[in-house]
Amino acid sequence: MEPPMSFFGAVEVVDRTGNVQARVRVERLPFRIGRALDNDLVLDDPHICPHHAELRGAETLELIDCGSLNGSFVGADRARRERIELGTGCELRIGHTHLRFRGAGEQLAATLADPMAGSRWLGLDRWHWGIAALAGSAAVVVGEHILGSSQALRPGVVAGAAAPALIVLALWALSWSLVNRVVAHRFHYVGHLVIGCLAVITASALETLGDYLGFAFAANQASSALDTVMGAMLIAVVVFGHLRLISTGSGRRLLAPAALVGFAFLALMTLPDAADNRFSSEPRFNISLKLPAAALRSGRPGETFYADAAEALDAADAQADEVPE
Amino acid sequence: MPLFRFMFGLLLCTSVAVAEEWTTEEVFSRHKDSVLQIRIIDAKGGAKRSIGSGFMISDDGRLITNFHVVADFVHHPGEHRAEWHSSDGASGPLELLDVDVVHDLALMRSEALANRVFLAVESNLPKMGERLFSLGFPYDLGLTIVEGTYNGLLDKSLYERIHLTGSINPGMSGGPAIDRNGNVIGVNVATAGNQVSFLVPSRHVIDLLTRDDATTRGELMQRIGEQLRANQARYLTELMQAPFATTTLGDFQVPGAVARHVNCWSQSDQAQERLIDRTELSCQSDDDIFLSGELTTGAIRYEHELRSARRIGTLRFWAQMERSFRGFFGNLGGDEASVTAFHCHQDFLEHEGLKSTLMLCVRRYREFDGLYDLVQRQVSLAHSDRSLQSTLILTGVDREHGIQFARRFAEEVRWSRR
């Protein structure tokens, strides 16, 4: 849009980091700047004179110092100036105040596209989702506590057992929100909370599914390996979700860091665990026992079971022939 | 030749024995030179690792002691040496000739002990209540004589043991128990405290003496392996030949005291505030064979645990069953040098309409080819509100007998369908 004929540009009051505190259009000349209220730009800076300077000129504007006590300066230059020719983007200093002149014909940069505008991820940042997700994860935590408890249930005890996990979830979401605030100047606490809660619910569901399948098919080791892979994938998705809420850029460039975190988790889980490798003089009956899953497969006759069990004896024989470390 | 020497000793003794009955003072004064202290010395530290007693058994310097006294010397000969010490202050080195690991006996020799007065052994058992005299070096306190009473052979024992009412104390292991005629009736081996002590009957000493000596450590270890294998084959075959004694636990029939030497105990936990009723039956033989300070073998232990949901849903009940299944509190001993880690196989078992999940874990003895420890755990899956968990532990068994027994045991768990 063309500026009106009486538009000469704008003077911006900026803070030390360059953020604009105030912006005043220059619509008539001379344009007076000072502490007095009859100025066009009134600055509450005690180091500025009541009538400190004026903008004058025709095609080219100039700032003319009106004999001020503390003078007028260009940018960080320490030389006091009587007249300063103004171009767009020219930075000025009077008293302790920083000004920036923007010319009437300034070419503006192209508008930045906001990838988050209308993003589905922002749909997570709704209170009703937050409450539902929190309720879901609370149900998971409470359910696991109830299943693991051999005592009669008391509401206080159950709530006490569930509280730490929920507090951790709240802090987790808060941490991501603060990162979001610092990096992207946004604060999607509920969105981050929903992602954390969904992760807890999904992890529990995957683990349960793995336990059931592992028990039904006598494949606890395979199911725990599958658990690890699924866990790594879940972590990658969760990290991607959090980054997506934070990032102002394209979602594609977030795939690499999310995948990296997933792989790092996988690597950590597949590292030989010192506790697992330590010699134990007790057998480990570390399997799941899920009665409903037993219906998926029939039992084997004793003869077959013990014929298959020879593998365990063979494995013991093979280890006996190795020299212990 | 050893048999001849032994027979000579036996005859000599018998001819003397009939003539007179010895007093405690006479037993002590006549036999004190034949009873020695056995010390196993740590080669690096130069001090005692273990002490016990022993007694002269021939005129060529052979003596008998317990295997458990010299076990460290057997397993790690490079790190230990064996010595004898007499009550008059003399001492000398000992070499190991043979062992009977099942009956906890060891045969040793020292040339310096040749021509020393030796004891005669009596294979016939005394009469019930007869006085016996046990000699040895309790707590390294010097040669001691203890008077006791013969109370027959243990009834509930897999291996022959004489029950002596008398105080055998640590350090007396391997010493002789002598009857009133001056003959060795048994070898001090163990105590249960409160004057309840046990002896290895002399006939096992005779068996050991009549064998050829082992010439190398390899041969010795091979013999130990053979003894263990033969022993487990014998008692497991005997067990398998007879029908298993079963007992009822709720809806289930389970193996009870399957042999005379297996002792069973039962307890129930049905306190009002509990969510699950629990009845437990645990059985075990008390006849472990000592292999080393860290490892015993030759045991049969099993436990049945019936749990019934009282005020608890199916999912919670089975979560508790899972926790119980995972918890195993029965350290089997041994270290990485003596046994492998456990290797397990798990699957569903179906027998006579009862479906259960069964997990069998085994580990092998590194020094004894073909010998395993076996732990089996089984959980019935027939009911949603009650379940039977049975755990079987067999130590020091071979493939054939161990697997046969484990299978029989698993299949003897039956649902009585009342």
B249-282 tens-digit pLDDT: 988 999 999 888 899 999 987 676 778 899 999 9
Confidence of residue A178 (pLDDT cuts 50, 70, 90): very high
- The CA distance from A157 to the nearest CA of chain B, in Å, is 16
Flag if A316 and B358 touch (Cβ within 8 Å). no
Flag if A299 and B350 touch (Cβ within 8 Å). yes
Identify from B347, B373, B377 which residue to disrupt to test chain A contact, counting A C-beta atoms within 10 A and taking the largest count.
B347
| Segment A75-84 mean pLDDT | 90
The confidence score (pLDDT) of residue B286 equals: 79
- Inform me whether the C-beta atom of residue A296 falls under 8 Å from chain B C-beta atoms: no
Number of other CB atoms surrounding residue A125 within 10 Å: 21
The confidence score (pLDDT) of residue B20 equals: 67
DSSP per-residue letters across B16-71: HHTT----HHHHHHHHTTTEEEEEEEETTT-SEEEEEEEEE-STEEEEEE-HHHHH
Chain B partners of A297 at a C-beta cutoff of 8 Å?
348
| Segment B6-12 mean pLDDT | 37
**Least confident segment among A120-124, A144-148, B242-246:** A120-124
Q: Could you give the C-alpha distances from A133 to A118, A174, A235, A236, in angstroms and in order?
A: 22, 15, 17, 19
Chain B partners of A317 at a C-beta cutoff of 8 Å?
364
Q: Could you give the C-alpha distances from A27 to A4, A7, A16, A63, in angstroms and in order?
A: 9, 5, 26, 15
Flag if B407 and A302 touch (Cβ within 8 Å). yes
Torsion sign (Cα): A255, A260, A265, A267: positive
- The CA distance from B164 to the nearest CA of chain A, in Å, is 35
Which region, left, alpha or beta, applies to residue A45 given φ > 0 means left and ψ of -120 to 50 means alpha?
beta
Cβ A117 vs Cβ A250: under 8 Å: no
A300 vs B320, B337, B347: nearest CB: B347
**Tokens 């009939």 correspond to what residue?**
B18
Flag if B403 and A151 touch (Cβ within 8 Å). no
| Best CA proximity match to B345, nearest among B326, B332, B356, B358 | B358
* pLDDT over threshold 80, residue A242: yes
Query: How far, in Å, CA of A91 to CA of A201, rounded?
Result: 55
User: Could you tell me which chain B residue has the CA closest to the CA of A282?
Assistant: B331
Find residues 214-243 of chain A whose CB sits inside 8 Å of chain B. Answer: 215, 218, 220
Chain A partners of B349 at a C-beta cutoff of 8 Å?
299-302, 305
Chain A partners of B337 at a C-beta cutoff of 8 Å?
324
The confidence score (pLDDT) of residue A200 equals: 94
Flag if A284 and B328 touch (Cβ within 8 Å). yes
As beta bridge partners, residue A33 has A41, A53
- Inform me whether the C-beta atom of residue A275 falls under 8 Å from chain B C-beta atoms: no
Query: How far, in Å, CA of B364 to CA of B98, rounded?
Result: 24
Tokens of residue B203, six digits? 């006939």
Residue B137 sits at φ, ψ, to 5 deg, of -120, 75
- The CA distance from A228 to the nearest CA of chain B, in Å, is 20
- The CA distance from B373 to the nearest CA of chain A, in Å, is 10
**Tokens 């010319």 correspond to what residue?**
A103
**Tokens 């408890």 correspond to what residue?**
A149
Percent of chain B with pLDDT over 70: 94
* pLDDT over threshold 50, residue B1: no
**Least confident segment among A145-159, B33-47, B165-179:** A145-159
- Inform me whether the C-beta atom of residue A272 falls under 8 Å from chain B C-beta atoms: no
Chain B partners of A311 at a C-beta cutoff of 8 Å?
343, 345
Q: What is the CA radius of gyration of chain A?
A: 34
User: Could you tell me which chain A residue has the CA closest to the CA of B325?
Assistant: A285
The confidence score (pLDDT) of residue B10 equals: 38
Residues B178-194 have pLDDT tens digits of 998 889 999 999 998 88
**Tokens 């019936």 correspond to what residue?**
B306
Confidence of residue A324 (pLDDT cuts 50, 70, 90): low
- The CA distance from A273 to the nearest CA of chain B, in Å, is 15
As beta bridge partners, residue B145 has B135
- The CA distance from B384 to the nearest CA of chain A, in Å, is 7
- Inform me whether the C-beta atom of residue A286 falls under 8 Å from chain B C-beta atoms: yes
Query: How far, in Å, CA of B28 to CA of B15, rounded?
Result: 20
Beta-carbon contacts of B315 under 8 Å, excluding residues fewer than 6 positions away, are A147
B396 or A158, which is more confident?
B396
